[in-house]
Structure 1
């Protein structure tokens, strides 16, 4: 089907319509897509675990670096969603198309910066993170994955553009297909072809490359946004608007990466590399558990952005409250399920003789994290509100408070001075998240209140 790029699509009608329906309609497909993607991450860990504890730990040490790359890629996607959805809300189709082309320009720039940086500094970074004897395995994996960084950045940016126009179906199809393809390719490259840990990286890059070409085909005429080069008109202001959300959103992942690296160092100090393997494996399960919650929050960015562009500020409270209620319900169900199934989930990572002894420790980790799930909706929805209105710096500040000023401090105090060891790290993550989420919620409510008051005052002046 060919879209003339002028008609209002179903997705655009959704984000501009009833806010509660929009949250449900956008969240559902996103949950499915991200669950499948996260399932891939879990399966990837399972396949790598078969190579031994060293390979699993090596990926754990690469993870903080990978999070930085994924972070700035997703940050670019968040910038795309925020800016384009605001233009759509303001009924400015021409600027929405132009913003999408600026996203493509930034994709190329980010690719060059990341490839050059990691090509020069990956080894010293892994050494600083304490990878020790696993460094060569880490380099085998990291060099290949980061060599295909263009596909990582492009797909994230493209997903952001599709979400901005409410086109979650295509986002779901692309993410799900890429993850399933990756799951199929993993055992082939790791074991059948004998590439080991490098095979996992090759499978990742190949699957992302295939998805990238599919998305490019869609952008030729099957989406609301038109990314034809003839529509490009360079605008420093557009770049600024994208980066005002994109850079802080990317830096949030950098903060999370610093958190992961710092926690790895603390874990090595109190329990050795075994604790890093536990954290690496267990955290992948946590990521899957909070995927539905994060999916709801990601959907909020586009809906808030469209409402902001249309000056429907009264929708903000409805969107936030409904999203938190939905996310919390999902979190409670997920927490209970995880607590019950924790021993069986741990068995998935400990099927090889090298990792068998980690089972009970992974179980303990997962059960502590169940409390972590409950407060994620409150904090994640609040940050999405700020991203949707273009206040990316506010979102970044909240992440720094939650992850560095709270989680790391609590983890350190509980693990070392109070002598709780790795259990102290687990509880530090939980306590930091609880306090950080409460702060985020209160700040976002204050912002929404001020924004609504300003609109009321402007309307009163117009009436007078």
Structure 2
């Protein structure tokens, strides 16, 4: 049964809401295994294991960000083609994206396996967790090809308005990851390597499911498309994807600088920060889901030339996003500390770890609607093929994280790191709001 969804007709509020809901559920399952992964590591391996994983967070984000950013750029062109109703153009772009992804997977795997140790040293990773951190990252990097093609297949499905298959795949993959985690870490006692192995095996599962369904439902297009090669197609894909990949790189650089600063504090601070980031990531998934839904919606309508629907959809998304953000803020303020206890083995740490984590959550909670607005406004610009301004906004985030990490911490201590996240959101939102307001009025002709 065909599960493609034409988002150029119908109520934007309902379309984006339903699409986002499927993505939220899928991403919840993805975060669920991250949640369980952290609990298993914290309880079985202890604070050192948790600190080792925490010290690699932004390095992993860098790799994932390059992949996701580049592929999302490809999928904007796929969404435009689907909105136009041009199946042949869609498949030509997909074939070109597949070739680029094949090269990307090989290059990233080799490069990051070679430089992971050097990067961890530059980050100031503590000696007591360095070995575990390097083992963890190297195993994850072996799974880069799975991640690349999962993003391509799931992104192609979403660009056609199909969020159900990615949801199914992520649900199955997440449950597999939880089982693998318990098996490799708790039962077989593979340690930190077991947690990493569980992750790459689950990535393989989700890639296979999305790939199977994409080709199963593939439209009947002339066979020449699979071998068709056009330099202009390749250039268009790279031109669209590169700024989005750079956007993730810029954000990651800011995060890596923060990690370098965090590594100068004691283990209790790093463990508390890591636990808080895990919960923050769980509550952030609705924001990223709204962003992906808005990209798909705007890209289809932009391709179809139905420009008046774009502003209506963005407005509906902002309303939904702010409401969800306020609910998440309440969770962090009133339940954050109790949830953090799930990650931490009290026998080998102190209440100070909980205090650091809870402090971070409460600062973020007050401004959480800004994060949701950031995702939606950025996605709106990307959907109308403007990937430059979102990249500029990421550079603004980098500057604010640098300022707060290097300067503000001298005056208010570790709180400067926490406030750096908030100020990064504020400055990015200002840039995105100014350009979104102008460009959406322009494309809508009003």
Q: Match for 2:342 among 320, 344, 348?
A: 348
Residues 186-225 of structure 1 deviation map (CA, whole Å, 9 limit, x = unaligned): 0210121111000001111111112222222212322559
300-309 or 357-366: bigger deviation: 357-366
Contact 1:72/1:246 (8 A) holds in 2 = no
Give 2:20's aligned residue.
27
**Are the aligned partners of 1:282 and 1:366 in contact in 2 as well (CA < 8 Å)?**
yes
1:229 Cα offset (Å): 7.1
**Distance verdict in 2 for CA 1:127–1:328, change over 3 Å:** same
Which stretch of the first structure deviates more once superposed, 47-56 or 197-206? 47-56
User: For the Cα contact (< 8 Å) 2:273–2:356, is it kept in 1?
Assistant: no
1:323 to 317, 336, 342: 317
Matches within 5 A, 1:130-279: 130-133=124-127, 134-223=129-218, 230-269=225-264, 271-279=265-273
Pair 1:442-2:430 in alignment: no
SS in 2 for 1:12: coil
> Could you give the per-residue CA deviations for residues 4-35 of structure 1, whole angstroms, max 9, x where no partner exists?
xxxxx553323544322321121110011011
Corresponding residue SS for 2:217: coil
Sort the Cα spacing of 1:20 and 1:246 in 2 relative to 1 into closer, same or farther, 3 A. Answer: same
Kindly state the Cα deviation for residue 126 of structure 1 after the two structures are TM-superposed. 0.5
TM-score, with structure 2 as normaliser: 0.94
Question: Aligned pair in 2 of structure 1 residues 308, 232: CA closer, same or farther (>3 Å)?
Answer: farther
What is the rounded CA distance, in whole Å, between the counterparts of 1:407 and 1:99 in structure 2?
37
Q: Distance in 2 between matches of 1:448 and 1:286?
A: 31
Q: Structure 2: which 5+ runs fail to align? A: none
Q: CA deviation at 1:354?
A: 2.2
- Cα deviations across residues 137-190 of structure 1 (Å, max 9, x unaligned)? 011111111011100111111111011001100011111211111011102101
1:242 to partner: Cα distance: 2.2
Mapped partners of 1:335, 1:279: distance in 2: 18
**Contact conserved, 2:47 with 2:344, CA < 8 A, in 1?**
no
The secondary structure found in structure 2 opposite 1:13 is coil
Confirm whether residue 375 of structure 1 aligns to residue 370 of structure 2: yes
SS state at 2:215 partner: coil
The aligned residue for residue 65 of structure 2 is 71
Q: 1:248/1:52 Cα in 2 relative to 1: closer, same or farther (>3 Å)?
A: same
Deviation at 1:227, TM superposition (A): 11
TM-score (norm. length: structure 1): 0.91
Q: CA deviation at 1:118?
A: 1.2
Residue 429 of structure 1: how far off its partner (Å): 1.4
- From 288, 292, 317, the counterpart of 2:282: 288
Number of residue pairs matched by the alignment: 443
Q: 1:11 and 2:4 equivalent?
A: yes
**Segments of 4+ in structure 1 off by > 3 A?**
14-18, 223-232
In the alignment, which of 415, 439, 454 is matched to residue 409 of structure 2?
415
Report what 1:359 is aligned to: 354
For residue 267 of structure 1, report the CA deviation from its aligned partner. Answer: 2.4
The equivalent of 1:42 in structure 2 is 35
Change (3 A) 1:355 1:223: farther
> Which residue in the other structure is 1:338 paired with?
332
Pair 1:248–1:293, CA change in 2 (3 A): same
Query: How far apart in 2 are the matches of 1:287 and 1:245?
Result: 27
Change (3 A) 1:119 1:220: same
Distance 1:224 1:70, change over 3 A: farther
The root-mean-square deviation of aligned C-alpha atoms, in Å, is: 2.0
Q: Following the alignment from structure 1 to structure 2, what is the Cα–Cα distance between the partners of residues 227 and 188?
A: 46
